[in-house]
Amino acid sequence: MQPRGQNPSVRFGVQLADVEIQVRLSVAVLIRDDKRRVLLEKRSDCGLWGLPGGRVEPGESVAQAACREIYEETGFHIAVRKLLGVYSEPNDRIVSFPDRTVQIIDILLEAEIVSGEFRISAESEEMRFFATTEFPPEAATIPPARKILRDIATGQVGVIR
């Protein structure tokens, strides 16, 4: 039985990179609450957990994309505080959608909430804060987020993978 909301047309790591695959720049945003727990999103397109964030649109900076994505997904206005890493290894980052296959390169940013009313968008089944020792199991996490979450849990910064 697949999780509620899982879309079998979104597949991770089922194709090798080739010249037809587009590279997509995305932001993943680390937001902590006052107990230092990390905000994670259970995605409605596949039913798996990951960090909130998304694609950098043409004409946007990485920081602008992070602010837009977080507002769209959570209702929070954020201030980007720090670059934590760049994740580009193709092994876990090739994603097939119904209309295309892409290699996702994630820029991991740390941000803090400055205002806003928390809400969950249609892109998410659920959002909640997790202690780093209580992250969902890897099988319940989108493959592109697995190394990122391991690095967050172990306090890694300045990562280039």
Measured CA to CA in angstroms, residue 114 lies from 67, 70, 118 at distances of: 11, 12, 12
Among the CATH numbers 3.90.79.10, 3.40.50.2300, 3.40.50.10480, 3.40.50.880, which is that of 11-114+121-160? Answer: 3.90.79.10
**pTM summary value:** 0.85
Query: What confidence tens digit (pLDDT) does each residue in 142-152 have?
Result: 999 999 999 99
Residue among 57, 110, 125, 126 flagged as catalytic: 126
Please say if 110 is a catalytic residue: no
Map out the domains of the chain as residue ranges.
11-114+121-160
Q: For CA atoms 26, 32, 37, 43, give the dihedral sign.
A: negative
pLDDT digits (tens, 9 = 90+) for 27-43: 999 999 999 999 999 99
